[in-house]
Structure 1
């Protein structure tokens, strides 16, 4: 296991009624904030009123930025930066899932940057500081509530890029599983797939000695497999919502990645799908993941798939290695398609081969390849996309 530094200082308030702690924590950093959120669902389900009432109790002033897109746009970031500057705001509070939180993170960094906020998306090294960031989570998916990462899109360029720096780590996040009760089945399923994909990206790595991290990853995967369908069918099952919400945070806050060498494979490919077709991120990941698994399965990788199949899916360890590996991949695809009811292939999302050549090159982010668990060049990426049709 390699040397590492692990520092995730986000203060988490987890459980029912934890909104009561929000403004008392914000006031330690800010008293005039930008309130960032997406559509009108938080007003229908009462979360907006709960947050606003809590802010007013501590005389925290706020300006609102609503309408943040599911794949947040750079235009929304720029609008938020301008609102902060014009109104002298000194903090950013996101209510929602990854889209609102990601947008809030880059707004907070953009206020501290003299150039255009898209510079910060293209090159995270430009992020030197940010306003304090806070979040009230309403969907278990991206893990943005407890990490530095943000993904922003510029649809005019067909670009969807990740960024982040230590200063974009939220100071405080409220995680009340009851706030996810109103999440529709479709988005609950996509969120579960997103959590699992984050875990896969860390789990499939070139190190064999990060034993503890692998077992933690398997626990998260088993939790998603168990509770994802329950939350879809029984949206007010607190146990299911709570376990998914906590899995979301720990899948991507850095713990699983520490001590091992890894580089993500499926996410950069899916980001191109979202950039060109604006699809739901979790759906794209669920469709691509089994095809990526099948494509990279070989004598060099089969042992990791055996580990996955035996420890996560309880497949008989005495079977032939490739039998176990293929069965594990089949069970993964079956889970996404039949247990979560996510589309099985890209054609179901009205995607064809038109942009695959461009997408395959852009997925390498100018490096000519993806240095993941198995190195992928543009030809490999295109084949995976074709297989997923």
Structure 2
């Protein structure tokens, strides 16, 4: 079959030459041959050197998403099955698969699709036109892989309702793939039980990428007074509680999040230890400081303050403000767990921002550890977008 050819401009294609997966619209010299958006096309360098095969969509700034760099590679059902099997085998080797991200888009060489497993339920998020045509096969292949390991999936729910789909010229959709089922599912992570609402929860229902970072705070929280900011459905707060914290206050601006967090506390028998408050963290932290409150451990797990390069400056102000306020609330020798989930807040910039906050309030930081996202969200070198989560634990000391 004759495929259209996307030819790069001279000097362009740095991302895919370095091992990345994307070709941007401003890197393209010309497209020859007939195609429809969502079709497979060949990518050639300016001198006609073959660089790969991928999906095209001229509605998107990411015009081509590569699937393979191998010349002559057939992108057929067997190829997709191989990619899905590889993704599942990788998870079996690297993480607890009771609940995990089983496909992470470009980092699993299946660009534009994310699939999370919550116990016996799969949640699919399809974000690119080309892969959208293959999502049903990908789901079927994944279920077949799991059945081979004795795992039964009782239902599949689609959460392709992210705004980014509009950039691809696609409608935002959500709903059942296959038979309807109860969309509330109980999972267990690090010994903590949660009810996950895959229909109404944020993104795919629950943030799995912090699994091992949540576990990392356990020792610090034993017997401690803990403040968990931007608690969402209470995940860090409940990990602190299960680890034996004396008291935990979880804070979030979402009424629904706090309601779900309270239910999760009751599910774990932690309702007397772990409490939740619906409030704006930026308003609450100065109020707690004015009251003279002090905590042994403060956790900051905010949403992404920036989703583009244009708003990084404002994001830096936000991260500096919450870290500065948190450090003021920590007892001398206490601990700060702080993170950023924004890809555009680079590790270097995040580190620098925390350092500025510490200097501004005359605190000395001793780094306990630096972590990133869990291994089921693998970081593909040269695909910068796959590296987004930065997570520090510090001991915070007064200057003496």
Q: TM-score, normalised by structure 1?
A: 0.27
- Decide which structure has greater helix share: 1
Higher alpha-carbon Rg: 2
Q: TM-score, normalised by structure 2?
A: 0.27
- Decide which structure has greater strand share: 2
